[in-house]
């Protein structure tokens, strides 16, 4: 199979075919958080690192005023085009989740599946929380989900997804190449195998996630005192089951509130 080295996020059509249909549990959970924790109706939302708009488009359809940013221009073009097609403003823009402002304060922000871990160091991670706190109204919510490094990390992890729409099929593999807990870097390999009636090819890429254990994450949260921790959940997205974080906790969602 022909192999092309490319940036994973430069192919929004393939990204969205694989991941775009997986949104219902997250959307249900976000709405449940708004109902449970916000004293005022939640109307205006922002997603830092919104990518192809997997969640943004669903929230727009659910009646929220949505916006978001992403470093990747191709993802933003794709996201704005789908918003426009559905009759909504093209409200997402190219930008850095560690350096952004919003025109009007938002009622809630969210960042659900490790996107925040793309930020490479403490300086940008702290800047991210500062930007979010600056953007939220008082009492506004920030819901952020990521994988923590447990005390005994798994040696080898990999995941595979496959999806088909019409004549296009994509199989995606994602695996940990190496984890350096001193440098706090998890190196991830990714492939997309793309099948159409006339051609087949593989796109390969590598990306980096910063690692966080429990203490590192709590220390970071402590650097932005305007964001107070209300509750924690895991990727079951069950609003009735907040969790306690332990040494073994991996997937976690923090619900934070702007003081």
Return residues touching ligand SAM (CB under 6 A).
9, 19, 49-51, 54-55, 69-72, 75, 96-98, 112-113, 115, 118-119
Q: Residues with Cβ < 8 Å from 253, sequence gap 6 or more?
A: 29, 112, 143, 144, 145, 232, 233, 234, 235, 237
Query: What distance in Å separates the CA atoms of residue 237 and residue 258, rounded to the nearest whole number?
Result: 22
Over its C-alpha atoms, the chain yields an Rg (Å, rounded) of 18
Least separation in angstroms between CB 135 and ligand SAM: 14
Q: Which is nearer to ligand SAM, 120 or 139 (CB)?
A: 120
Least separation in angstroms between CB 226 and ligand SAM: 21
Query: What distance in Å separates the CA atoms of residue 100 and residue 258, rounded to the nearest whole number?
Result: 17
Residue of minimal Cβ distance to ligand SAM? 51
Q: Which is nearer to ligand SAM, 174 or 217 (CB)?
A: 174
Q: Which is nearer to ligand SAM, 1 or 24 (CB)?
A: 24
Q: Is 68:46 a contact under the CB 8 Å cutoff? A: yes
Q: Which is nearer to ligand SAM, 21 or 196 (CB)?
A: 21
SS3 for 221-245 is: HHCCCCEEEEEEECCCCCCCCCCCC
Least separation in angstroms between CB 5 and ligand SAM: 17
Least separation in angstroms between CB 73 and ligand SAM: 9
């Amino acid at each position: 199979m022909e192999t092309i080295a490319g940036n994973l996020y430069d192919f929004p059509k393939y990204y969205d075919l694989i991941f775009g249909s997986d949104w219902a549990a997250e959307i249900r959970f976000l709405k449940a958080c708004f109902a449970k924790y916000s004293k005022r109706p939640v109307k205006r939302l922002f997603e830092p690192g919104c990518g192809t708009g997997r969640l943004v488009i669903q929230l727009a359809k659910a009646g929220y005023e949505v916006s978001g940013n992403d470093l990747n221009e191709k993802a933003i073009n794709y996201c704005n085009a789908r918003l426009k097609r559905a009759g909504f403003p093209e409200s997402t823009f190219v930008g850095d989740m560690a350096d952004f402002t919003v025109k009007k304060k938002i009622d809630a922000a969210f960042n659900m599946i490790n996107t925040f871990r793309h930020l490479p160091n403490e300086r940008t991670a702290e800047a991210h929380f500062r930007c979010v706190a600056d953007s939220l109204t008082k009492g506004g919510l920030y819901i952020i989900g990521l994988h923590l490094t447990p005390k005994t990390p798994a040696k080898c992890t990999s995941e595979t997804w496959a999806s088909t729409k019409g004549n296009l099929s994509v199989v995606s593999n994602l695996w940990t190449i190496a984890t350096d807990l001193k440098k706090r870097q998890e190196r991830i390999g990714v492939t997309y195998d793309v099948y159409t009636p006339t051609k087949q090819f593989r796109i390969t890429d590598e990306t980096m996630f910063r690692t966080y254990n429990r203490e590192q994450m709590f220390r970071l949260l402590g650097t932005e005192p305007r964001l107070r921790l209300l509750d924690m959940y895991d990727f079951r997205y069950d609003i009735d089951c907040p969790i306690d974080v332990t040494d073994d906790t991996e997937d976690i969602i923090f619900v934070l509130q702007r003081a």
